[in-house]
Amino acid sequence: MIIDNDSLDKLAYLSRLEFHEHEKEAMLHDLNEMVDWVEQLDELVFEDQDLGLDQFTLLLQANELRQDLAMNAITHERALALAPSGDTNYFRVPSVKG
């Protein structure tokens, strides 16, 4: 896939960006390099389609996550002691109303 001037103009419109004419060449070069890099990654990751494995299955196996366990890493009293300003049970913060 090659990014051309029309594609760049559409991307700029969608992202609410404006490019000067002298910036467009550099932006086109950079975007095309990014697209080439992603295409190379696609070839590396999914080149063995004959294995019968779904693409997402391969990704999930490569990215095993830790268990999500709820635990208190710091006590309430310790957090209050570390705060710049606190009350008996509450953190004091500066007022944001003008």
Residue 12 is assigned to a structural domain of this protein: yes
The total number of structural domains in the chain stands at 1
Tokens of 33: 């390099």
Residue 24 covered by a domain: yes
pLDDT per residue as tens digits for the range 52-61 = 555 656 566 6
Does residue 94 form part of some domain?
Answer: no
Domain carrying residue 47: 5-51
Report if residue 16 sits inside a domain.
yes
Task: Answer yes or no: are the C-beta atoms of 92 and 85 closer than 8 Å.
Answer: yes
Whether 31 is covered by a domain: the verdict is yes
In a domain, 75, yes or no: no
Given a cut of 90, whether residue 33 has pLDDT beyond it is yes
Let me know if residue 84 belongs to a domain.
no
Q: How far apart are CA 10 and CA 76, in angstroms?
A: 51
> The whole model's pTM is what?
0.45
Q: What is the pLDDT of residues 48-87, one digit of tens each?
A: 555 555 565 656 665 567 788 887 788 888 888 888 877 7
Q: Is residue 71 part of a domain?
A: no
